[in-house]
């Protein structure tokens, strides 16, 4: 599999025009580090294939990943990502990741990216697969790629969003542990399909709702809502991924005297709120400017909230 194929497992295939900071490159620059294939993490040639055709990441999406923000040579919210990575791996019965090894690979990848591409911001991804079907040997790799232009646009101009049924009840995680709710698995095809559907309808993003109409999360983001001077997000038990950005934001907000809460929310709650944001590690924040056709005006304190979001990812 070549470098662009490995990226397609987790994000929609970008065109070279989607990249910023590297306009002269005909193909997206990318750094790849093989984490588990040799005694020590090793840089790979991004123009060469690096996994086998029977890798269960490619064949079944059977593995876990993390996407971290790399800014000026440093990865952010590392501890939160590492903790979720270990939890996700445990939920899939994968061997416990050797974090020292993943951190060494991350350092190698960040250095190589700084030396070869040098864009100030990038997405650094950890991928840990059940490995080869034929050998049972786990595989793992780290990639770094520049940030897509639509992420930058979403930060600046916000996003028009549709709600979409996720197709399960809110108690699925309790009833069906095999649904892997709360694990960051590689099986993102449905999430990507929802985003493509939204884009085909002139929108930029999606908020999933449960069968009961409870707000869950975006396909690649957590939902944060401002109401009554409180920052609110759906509880993890609702069936969402525990977001590292949302968690870091709540800590910063509490330090600055804001109230925070985990609450079950309806779509109407969002429409009547003082603001809704989609937050995630690389995007940081994108304010929802329109939800199911309802305009969402910008609250006076939106600048302050977005400032806290940036502070939250600065560590």
Binding site for ligand PLP (CB under 6 A): 67, 217, 220-222, 241, 243-246, 279-281
Helical axes 302-312 vs 244-255, angle rounded to 10°: 120
Smallest gap from Cβ 152 to ligand PLP, in A, equals 16
Phi and psi of 43, rounded to 5°? Answer: -70, 140
Helix H or strand E segment including 309: helix 302-312
Smallest gap from Cβ 313 to ligand PLP, in A, equals 9
Smallest gap from Cβ 122 to ligand PLP, in A, equals 14
CA distance 222 to 31: 27
Smallest gap from Cβ 207 to ligand PLP, in A, equals 11
Smallest gap from Cβ 226 to ligand PLP, in A, equals 17
CB 232 within 8 A of CB 265: yes
Give how far Cα 4 sits from Cα of 13, 25, 84, 134, Å: 8, 14, 25, 24
Contacts of 304 (CB under 8 A, 6+ apart): none
Smallest gap from Cβ 273 to ligand PLP, in A, equals 19
Closer to ligand PLP by CB, 129 or 244: give it: 244
Residue 148: DSSP 8-state? B
Closer to ligand PLP by CB, 204 or 281: give it: 281
Beta-bridge mates of residue 143: 32, 125
Smallest gap from Cβ 66 to ligand PLP, in A, equals 8
Nearest to 164 by CA among 211, 229, 131: 211
Closer to ligand PLP by CB, 42 or 187: give it: 187
Report the first-to-last Cα separation within the chain, whole angstroms: 34
Contacts of 83 (CB under 8 A, 6+ apart): none
CA distance 52 to 65: 18
Closer to ligand PLP by CB, 246 or 273: give it: 246
Closer to ligand PLP by CB, 36 or 309: give it: 309
Closer to ligand PLP by CB, 146 or 234: give it: 234
Give how far Cα 55 sits from Cα of 61, 132, 135, 185, 239, Å: 9, 4, 10, 15, 28
Cα torsion for 3, 149, 247, 290, to the nearest 10°? -130
CB 230 within 8 A of CB 204: no
Closer to ligand PLP by CB, 44 or 204: give it: 204
Smallest gap from Cβ 280 to ligand PLP, in A, equals 4
Closer to ligand PLP by CB, 44 or 75: give it: 75
């Amino acid at each position: 599999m070549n470098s662009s194929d490995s990226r397609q497992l987790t994000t929609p295939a970008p065109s070279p025009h989607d990249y910023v900071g590297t306009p002269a490159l005909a193909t997206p620059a990318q750094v790849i580090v093989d984490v588990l294939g040799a005694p020590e993490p090793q840089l790979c040639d991004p123009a060469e294939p690096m996994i086998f055709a029977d890798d269960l990441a490619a064949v079944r999406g059977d593995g876990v990943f993390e996407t971290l923000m790399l800014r000026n040579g440093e990865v952010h919210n590392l501890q939160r990502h590492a903790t979720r990575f270990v939890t996700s791996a445990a939920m899939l019965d994968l061997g416990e990741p050797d974090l020292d090894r993943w951190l060494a690979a991350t350092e190698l990848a960040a250095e190589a990216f700084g030396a070869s591409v040098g864009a100030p911001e990038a997405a650094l991804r950890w991928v840990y697969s059940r490995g080869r079907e034929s050998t049972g040997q786990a595989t793992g790799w780290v990639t770094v790629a520049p940030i897509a232009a639509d992420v930058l646009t979403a930060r600046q101009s916000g996003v028009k969003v549709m709600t979409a049924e996720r197709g399960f009840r809110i108690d699925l995680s309790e009833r069906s542990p095999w649904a892997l709710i709360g694990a960051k698995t590689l099986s993102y095809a449905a999430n990507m399909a929802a985003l493509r559907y939204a884009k085909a309808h002139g929108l930029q993003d999606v908020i999933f709702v449960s069968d009961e109409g409870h707000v869950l999360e975006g396909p690649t983001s957590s939902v944060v809502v401002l109401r009554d001077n409180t920052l609110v997000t759906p509880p993890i038990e609702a069936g969402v991924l525990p977001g590292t950005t949302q968690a870091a934001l709540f800590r910063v907000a509490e330090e600055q005297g804001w109230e925070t809460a985990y609450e079950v929310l309806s779509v109407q709650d969002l429409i009547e709120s003082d603001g809704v944001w989609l937050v995630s590690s690389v995007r940081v924040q994108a304010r929802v400017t329109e939800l199911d056709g309802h305009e969402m005006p910008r609250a006076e304190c939106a600048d302050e909230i977005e400032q806290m979001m940036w502070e939250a990812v600065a560590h």
